[in-house]
Structure 1
Amino acid sequence: MNSAAASNAVRDAARAEGDHTGHTAGLDARDPPVIEVANLTKRYDDVLAIDDISFSVEQGTILGVLGPNGAGKTTLLKAMLGLLVPSSGTVHVCGIDVHADPQRAYRRVGATLEGARNVYWRLTVRENLAFFAGLAGESVRDPTVSARHDTLLDQLGLLDRADDVVNELSRGMKQKVALACALARDVDVAFLDEPTLGLDVESSVDLRRELRRLADERGLTVVLTSHDMSVVEDLCDRVLVVDHGHVVADDGVTTLVELFRTSAVRVVVDGPLSTTTERAIRADYTVESWETDGDRTRVLVALEDANDLPGLTAQFLADGGRLVSVNTVEPDLTEAFLELTGSGSSSRAGR
């Protein structure tokens, strides 16, 4: 299964189960947010890692946190989890101040950070789940807990490996175990750092579907980071884009994509293009990329008006070249993210 098929599979599953809006059916709209971040700031000497960030997250929402390297998103997540003390500001999870009462807050939260390194590789899969559930006072002797673990292992394709030592598993399997441990307790909020890292396409689709089900049916609130834009675009209700310690965007995926919607076409010409023609095209249009491979030229051009297409193609044919193809390119979350973080000029070049 390729990435396009994966995206379609998740979308089809979402349609089959009903549209998701970030709120679980039956929840009172007046219920307080599950997560409340207020004026959160963290300074390291002269470096301002996060600067006066505020937002809230409703129950059953899957929130994606995006940002380039060094943007402050890791600092933000660690501050939300109480793993570092902010310079100022507060974080409340389920109404509990994470920094004033971390033990109470931790009982409501599950997390997997930095891949699969937060599990014990010398324990079996099932023993890991029992250990992490036990941290909150849950015992696998309770039939409800053991049944939840079996269901989770089955849904993640781990049931037949439940008694294997984690160190003997593949990287993708270890990643699944890390996620299972984050959900081993009956938590209200899950913080997931790159949850699909190392997974094959089908496992990634299964994982997304399971997270969507937990959010929709059980009201699980999920905060995740991912460098895989297809995961965020398919799964998240909201996206928080962080850059230079500030929130530069906080909205639904569809809204962010529409915000930067500009028609673009990829033109492929078989034949040499003169310097004069290239200069004319660059002068009249916004060229996002220009690649020449032998006698074939591939150009990505942004068009504000679709009526400009005939004039554009005519310029490409001015040197007597043969038009091989003209294809429209639709914007997506990658486009929006790069525009928001100041790298929009190359956003569609590699597609």
Structure 2
Amino acid sequence: MKEEILIEVKGLKKGYKKRKTKEWVQAVNNVSFTVKRGEILGLLGPNGAGKTTTIKMICGLIVPDEGEVVINGITMQKNRLKGLEHISAVLEGNRNLYWRLTARENLEYFAGNRGKSRKEKMGEIEKLLSEFKLKQKENELVSNLSRGMQQKLALAVALLADSDVILLDEPTLGLDIETGYEVRQLLKKISEAGKTIIISTHDMPVVQDLCERTVIINNGKVIADEKVEELMNLFETSAYVLTLGNELTEQQQKELDAKFPINELLDGGKLTITLEQDNDIYDLMDLLKKENTIIEKIDRTTIDFEEVFMNLIQEEKNHAIHSIN
């Protein structure tokens, strides 16, 4: 069965002038990717990479200088209101809630906004309050709820829209471990119910746990668009831990940093290192052999997605430096 493309992001570009210096900044530079119906996609990038600008263009909050966003066959630039019927956003800081209303009042208000009848919305609201474990706090003002409760309420409000896509900006930011886990479980249930989810986050365990695929943006460009599992496998094969019998010389450390920028010397003489090319292992052995450095043990290391993310950003940075030189 052919997978259905729900969102197409085509050649987005967006620039602006800094207020003080009037310097031109190209925030997004030819960003393209697709999102399949029913998948959980991680949209990632370091601060200032162009990720937030891309998100705002997908949501129709800002207009691109070039390119277009197509949601369920609708071009946002041509028919924004129609396109927005297919996407709901849960913004960081729970900005899509009214803090002076109770949890129940928020749900009633947003259900009414979507034109649902009283009977229709009452049944749905009761179901969401129960499913999201908000029933005991339904008459509390949002301003008095914990951050975790606010986040769960924001998700419930987004679900009331019954849109095809839910875009989440930092869904677990500031949550304790227990509530963060609870939110992740809710997101899995939402995905299993057929919703398409786009997650923008710096919480890499969330990406590793939830996302099937990730699009990583840096310096306004897409530097990776792969399945999370494939990226994990790619970097796991090139990450090693070496247990050394004696210390590296200052010159060895300089050469190591120049040749293998992703390395770290830990306590106990353990050197963690990522090798980009298959033949790099021979260069590493030659470097250690120069000073007769004893290698007591070599292990392939397990890697988490945070390390994968940092490796990709570092590789892109190194490539940019080499291009300039």
Instruction: Confirm or deny that 1:29 pairs with 2:6.
Output: no
Instruction: Flag structure 2 segments of 5+ consecutive residues without an equivalent.
Output: 18-23, 318-325
> What is the deviation of 1:77?
0.5
Distance 1:261 1:326 in 2: 14
Distance 1:221 1:202 in 2: 24
- 2:91 is equivalent to residue 113 of structure 1: yes
Displacement of 1:326 after TM fit? 7.8
Matched, 1:142 2:119: yes
1:201-216 alignment runs, 5 A limit:
201-216=177-192
The one of 140, 160, 163 aligned to 1:184: 160
Structure 1 residues 70 and 280: alpha-carbon distance in aligned structure 2, compared to 1, 3 A threshold: closer
Give the distance between the partners of 1:292 and 1:239, measured in 2 at CA.
30
**Aligned to 2:215, what secondary structure does the other structure show?**
strand
1:273-298 C-alpha deviation (Å, 9 max, x unpaired)? 47489669959x958545576xx544
Unmatched tracts of structure 1, length 5 or more: 1-27, 346-351
Shift of the 90–292 alpha-carbon distance from structure 1 to 2, 3 Å rule, reads: closer
Asked if 1:248 is matched to 2:223, the reply is yes
Query: What is the aligned counterpart of 2:232 among 233, 245, 257?
Result: 257
State the match for 2:137 in structure 1: 161
**Selected match of 2:306 from 306, 323, 334:** 334
Q: Quote how far apart the aligned CAs of 1:212 are.
A: 1.9
Greater alpha carbon shift after TM alignment, 200-209 vs 71-80:
200-209
Matches within 5 A, 1:3-18: none
What SS does structure 1 have at the residue aligned with 2:160? coil
Distance change (3 Å), C-alpha of 1:267 and 1:168: same
Quick check: 1:188–1:220 contact (8 Å CA) kept in 2? yes
- By how many angstroms is 1:330 displaced? 1.1
| C-alpha contact (below 8 Å) 1:265/1:300 kept by paired residues | yes
Q: How many residues align?
A: 305
Partner Cα distance (1:287, 1:87) in 2: 36
Q: Over aligned residue pairs, what C-alpha RMSD do you find? A: 3.5
CA-to-aligned-CA distance 1:248-277 (integer Å, 9 cap, x gap): 1111101122232335444678x9847489
> TM-score by structure 1 length?
0.74
CA distance in 2 between partners of 1:47 and 1:210 (Å): 38
Q: Matches of 1:112 and 1:38 in 2, distance apart?
A: 23
TM-score between the two structures when normalised by the length of structure 2:
0.80
